[in-house]
Chain A
């Protein structure tokens, strides 16, 4: 640790996070969601869709199946039970069952089929889960093999500068490919394809390659495949492994994690609270879904990126830094509960402080170093702020440059490059080049700065870090007292209030019945895969 932080206080924060997570875990274990069930369908290898005349879009088979079970009031047993039963009854593969179902025009109903002995159904379901998860294990191995033959810019000891993460957001996946390759050549290590506006509130995943989006490109399985393939080619050409990111968030959080694992994505934005706070998605839905998503990430060695930086876009950033740290403790706990290793937790931060606040750069260094010290193994995701970017691109560029310096000085793991044109438009190709050039300069020129500098004992930086830690402990104590659900209702994070039965997607949460069967979840929890 570079800063003299009170280790007992850090341990106390973690202890509270354990307690807070226990209540949540009880709730998770008693429920499931339509999205979690659809993820299981997708893990069975069912990735098709049909053109639904009502929405004039492709509607996934996974949704058709789960919708039907919900209509027939049968979902509380779990989709795995009904699919396994149907496979036995019809002597078909899951895909054949799904196709027959969609072609039957509503006459083929899973819940109306004769039910086989539960031991047989369970056995069949377990076999389906094993097969589905084995496919993910194979994809993980494929990725590791590919990285082995190339230079990997991600340094697990954080001695090398953070990996450089940029976004593409043209709306057309094919145009995104052009820009992603350009960014990779200019030095980007991670490409994030920003999603189309409001995709997070769609309760199904769009299907196929898409060429039109709003402020981003739809997250679809085919789009994932197209971009990963292009990046594989570019990685091979450049001799450096280029990672791909998408968003496991919103109403389809676990499905996106599943599909991302199937298409060998490398990072996923996956936060336990973000959707609740910033998309008004129901708390129970989000907490259940994040658990499944992270179990999949744990299997597939996908790095998660959490979204705490966003908290302070709504709350005052100088006064509320402890909200970020408290949430990081909670996010860390939930990730550990989902079998994730710290090495894959890209806990997010960076503060949206007013750039003209006195000593603001010192405060920024204090928090960045504090986060590094408290989460020593985590590839921290550092995100230059967006709130104070107002159109003067020259100022924004300088502002980002300072964050670049703080990031490399404090040994962050993943650096999301600020764009000079933030708040104006999705980055132009030239904007990305400017940002990468400046980051290449600063990361290269200050690579070992952190090793050379020590902080003054009881100086401004150290004191500020201590204050943020103290405030976090206070907040966590409060959360412990009232419970996480009530804490969120009482605006403990981002000054936003959400109710346990409010928000979008609440209808998709259901109580598991006694006969609930989900071998996918069981095997993921027990890490019973790949053997």
Chain B
């Protein structure tokens, strides 16, 4: 039993089971107990049969020791449930691989310092909310001087020349602007996800970039509440950020990617 697999701060005692990474299950009140809550509504009135149906659904979801702790009637023809059970399913945590943004997160000061020393000029970032999406909340959180959750925005960085173009910018316009201004990176924010329009929009941007032969010319980054890194990569971008992202996360990534490309170019020569 390796100590690092014990739950945090647990006394090394045989009664406390270690974390089983090969069979990872929820922790309810004890290691490996698999306890979880599930809530749903059935389109039938509450009744003993309805309760049994709820229990049966829980069984099919892979639970045992099932307790239906609430069965209430929201309105005629419906029953609302809260259930508890212990999960039979487990996952092998050691086999899980997730695409992640490759960057060393650094502070505002560290980033400016590195750009000054290793880049010797400002890195130019162009950002916009593209397509018909009119929400600037995401792009503003990352760009605006005052930043977000106490983390300064890109405009405040001495190492970045950050240009926020606002909302409803067409992909074509964005690329043209980036070429004209000799941008190093392009940041796209997408808030609206109606009918997956955010995905389509990102894919279109990358198609355009390919057509113009600009795919490797810029660092392409996107962000939004329904986005993450794997989706971004699938759409052909370099990196994607989800909810909770701070400006310094984006700033760290762009810097790291900038330096990676610079080093790769040098090697080629």
Find chain B residues with CB under 8 A from A230 CB: 9, 11
- In the bound assembly, the distance between CA atoms of A421 and B35 in angstroms comes to 13
Task: Say which size band chain B's interface belongs to.
Answer: 20 to 34
A425 located at the interface, meaning its Cβ lies under 8 Å from any Cβ of chain B in the complex: yes
Task: Name which of A115-123, A169-177, A262-270 contacts chain B.
Answer: A169-177
Known contacts A172-B15, A392-B72; is A178 also within 8 Å of B8 by CB? Answer: yes
Known contacts A174-B16, A424-B69; is A429 also within 8 Å of B29 by CB? Answer: yes
- In the bound assembly, the distance between CA atoms of A234 and B8 in angstroms comes to 11
**B82–A393 contact, CB under 8 A?**
yes
Find chain B residues with CB under 8 A from A170 CB: 29-30
**B10–A211 contact, CB under 8 A?**
no
- Tell which of B16, B29, B37, B39 has the most Cβ of chain A within 10 Å: B29
A181 located at the interface, meaning its Cβ lies under 8 Å from any Cβ of chain B in the complex: yes
Find chain A residues with CB under 8 A from B8 CB: 178, 181-182
A428 located at the interface, meaning its Cβ lies under 8 Å from any Cβ of chain B in the complex: yes
Q: Given A178, A209, A226, A421, which contacts B9 in the complex, CB threshold below 8 Å?
A: A178
B59 located at the interface, meaning its Cβ lies under 8 Å from any Cβ of chain A in the complex: no
- In the bound assembly, the distance between CA atoms of A181 and B9 in angstroms comes to 7
Chain B, range 69-118, C-beta contacts under 8 Å to A: 69-70, 72, 80, 82, 84
Find chain A residues with CB under 8 A from B35 CB: 428
A239 located at the interface, meaning its Cβ lies under 8 Å from any Cβ of chain B in the complex: no
**B84–A425 contact, CB under 8 A?**
yes
A391 located at the interface, meaning its Cβ lies under 8 Å from any Cβ of chain B in the complex: yes
**B70–A178 contact, CB under 8 A?**
no
Find chain B residues with CB under 8 A from A175 CB: 10, 15-16, 29-31
**B11–A428 contact, CB under 8 A?**
no
**B82–A392 contact, CB under 8 A?**
yes
B28 located at the interface, meaning its Cβ lies under 8 Å from any Cβ of chain A in the complex: yes
**B9–A428 contact, CB under 8 A?**
no
Q: Given A172, A392, A424, which contacts B30 in the complex, CB threshold below 8 Å?
A: A172
- In the bound assembly, the distance between CA atoms of A226 and B9 in angstroms comes to 12
Contact with A along B5-42 (1 / 0, CB 8 A): 00111110101100000000001111100010101000
A394 located at the interface, meaning its Cβ lies under 8 Å from any Cβ of chain B in the complex: yes
- In the bound assembly, the distance between CA atoms of A32 and B252 in angstroms comes to 71
Interface on chain B toward A: helix, strand, loop, or mixed SS?
Answer: loop
- In the bound assembly, the distance between CA atoms of A3 and B70 in angstroms comes to 40
- In the bound assembly, the distance between CA atoms of A174 and B14 in angstroms comes to 9
Q: Given B13, B28, B67, which contacts A429 in the complex, CB threshold below 8 Å?
A: B28
Closest partner residue, chain A, to B11 (CB atom): A174
Find chain B residues with CB under 8 A from A393 CB: 37, 39, 69-70, 82
- In the bound assembly, the distance between CA atoms of A83 and B245 in angstroms comes to 69
Closest partner residue, chain A, to B31 (CB atom): A175
Q: Given A209, A226, A391, which contacts B82 in the complex, CB threshold below 8 Å?
A: A391
* Interchain nearest-CB distance for A165 vs B (Å): 19
Known contacts A392-B82, A393-B70, A429-B28; is A174 also within 8 Å of B15 by CB? Answer: yes
**A428–B28 contact, CB under 8 A?**
yes
A522 located at the interface, meaning its Cβ lies under 8 Å from any Cβ of chain B in the complex: no
**A174–B70 contact, CB under 8 A?**
no
**A429–B27 contact, CB under 8 A?**
yes
Contact with A along B166-206 (1 / 0, CB 8 A): 00000000000000000000000000000000000000000
Find chain A residues with CB under 8 A from B70 CB: 390-393
- In the bound assembly, the distance between CA atoms of A230 and B16 in angstroms comes to 15
**A394–B39 contact, CB under 8 A?**
yes
- In the bound assembly, the distance between CA atoms of A294 and B125 in angstroms comes to 68
A313 located at the interface, meaning its Cβ lies under 8 Å from any Cβ of chain B in the complex: no
Chain B, range 27-62, C-beta contacts under 8 Å to A: 27-31, 35, 37, 39
Task: Taking A178-B9, A428-B35 as given, write out 17 further A-B residue pairs in contact, using a Cβ cutoff of 8 Å, ordered by the A residue number.
Answer: A172-B16, A174-B15, A175-B15, A175-B16, A175-B30, A178-B10, A181-B9, A226-B11, A230-B9, A391-B82, A392-B72, A392-B80, A393-B37, A421-B37, A425-B29, A427-B29, A429-B29
- In the A-B complex, list the 6 residue pairs whose CB atoms are closest, starting with the nearest: A391-B70, A391-B69, A211-B15, A181-B9, A428-B28, A392-B70
- 19 A-B residue pairs with Cβ-Cβ distance under 8 Å, sorted by A, are A170-B29, A172-B15, A174-B10, A174-B15, A175-B10, A175-B15, A175-B29, A175-B31, A177-B9, A178-B9, A211-B15, A230-B9, A230-B11, A234-B9, A392-B82, A394-B82, A426-B29, A428-B28, A428-B35
